[in-house]
Amino acid sequence: MPLVEGNPCLSSVLALPKVRVGNLRSASFLRDYFGRIDAACGDGIDLSIDLQGLTKSAVIALRSGAKTRIGYHWLREGARFVETPVPKRSESVHIVDQYLDVARFLGASPNKVRFPFFISADDEQTVEKALADAGVQSGETLVSINPASAQRVKEWGADRYATLMDTLSERTGAACVLVTADMKVANEVSSLANRPFVNLAGKTTLKQLASVLRRSCVHVCGDTGSGHLAAALETRVVSLMGPTDPNRACPYNQQSSTISKKQTCGAGCNGRHCAYPRPKCMEAITVAEVADTVIRAFSV
C-alpha cells in the first residue's frame, strides 16, 4: 500500500488483508474481506483492470460489480475465466510495456513513462539525519546496495557484496549504504566487509528506503523489488539477474546496466529452482564486472 499512497493519479486506495488458505475457512475473515470491497465500491464500479491476473485479483474484480473486466495478456488461474485479456503488442517485451498495452487499449497514448511516488518531508528528513549521523555529508556520492532477494537462487552471495562495497569504497570514495529487510543476509555482509559503510538494513520504512534510493547515484541489487523502485525514482540501477529473463523483468529502462548470465542456466532452472548446487548464472558474475559497471553508471 505505501507504494501507491500519495499518488496524485488515484482518488482512493483500498488495503485488503493478505489471503491465506487458513483464512478462507474463517467466516469473520471473509466478512471483513468482502465488506471492505463492498464499502469501497459503493454503488458499483464501471470498469476493473487486473494487472496481476490471478484468482485473488479476479475475485476482487467480480465482487466490485464491474460489468467490464479486463486484464493484461497473461491471465492465469481463475482470472482467465472471468476477465478479458488485452493482447500484447509484439514490441512490448518488458512487463511495464505489456501493462501499458492495457492503457493503450483504453485509449491512452503513453510516451514518456513516469512512476509518481510520494515521499513525505518527514521521511526525507529522517533519512538525511540517519545519513548525517553515519558521517555522510549532504551532497556526498552514495551507492546503495541491497544484497538480498526473495529467492535464494537469485542471490549473488554476501561475500561478493562485501567485496564489492570494499572495492567501490576504495576506487571511488563513494559512501556505500546497505539497505535490506533481510537481516540474516545483512549481518553476513557486515561481518565480511573490511571498509566502513553505512548500515541502514532493517532501519527504514518503504518510503524512507525510497528516499535513500532517490538520494543514491547508483543502486546495486539482484532480482528484487528495490531495483524496480529505484528505476521508478530515475536512479541508475546495476541489477544482477539470475534465471529471470532480463529483457522482460529487469528494472525498467535499465537494460544497459543489467548484468545477466542466464545463458549458463540449465534446462531445469527457473526463478524458484536451480538445477545446480550453486546457481551458475550468479556465480558467473564477477566482482570486477559489477564494480566496473557501477563506475560507468556514475557518468550516465
What are the angstrom distances between the C-alpha of 246 and each of 121, 232, 240, 271? Answer: 34, 17, 9, 12
pLDDT, residue 150, reads: 76
**Whole-angstrom distance, CA of residue 106 vs CA of residue 49:** 10
Going by the DSSP 8-state scheme, the letter that residue 118 receives in this structure is -
pLDDT value, residue 152: 77
Q: Across the beta sheet with 47-50, what order do the strands follow? A: 47-50, 68-71, 84-85
- pLDDT confidence of residue 153: 75
CA dist., res. 13 & res. 225, Å (int): 21
CA separation for the pair 114, 68 (Å, rounded): 27
Q: What is the pLDDT along the chain (300 residues), one digit of tens a residue?
A: 888 888 888 888 888 888 887 878 788 888 888 888 888 887 778 999 999 999 889 988 988 889 899 999 999 999 999 999 999 899 999 999 999 999 999 999 888 888 988 999 999 999 999 999 988 888 888 999 999 887 777 788 889 999 999 999 999 888 999 999 989 999 999 999 999 999 999 999 999 999 999 999 999 999 899 999 999 999 999 999 877 888 888 999 998 899 887 776 666 666 666 666 677 677 888 999 999 999 998 876
| Cα separation values, 270 from 37, 76, 159, 279, Å | 35, 18, 24, 10
pLDDT at residue 270, rounded to an integer: 63
Has this prediction a pTM greater than 0.85?
yes
User: How many residues belong to the chain?
Assistant: 300
Cβ atoms of 285 and 259 within 8 Å: the answer is yes
Which residue type occupies 100? L
Please give the domain boundaries of the chain with CATH numbers for all domains. Answer: 44-105 (no CATH), 121-297 (3.40.50.2000)
Helix axes 121-133, 206-215, angle to 10 degrees: 70
Beta-carbon contacts of residue 23 (< 8 Å; ≥ 6 apart): 17, 29, 30, 33
Helix (H) or strand (E) holding 221: strand 218-221
DSSP for 43-64, please give it: T--SEEEESS-SHHHHHHHHHT
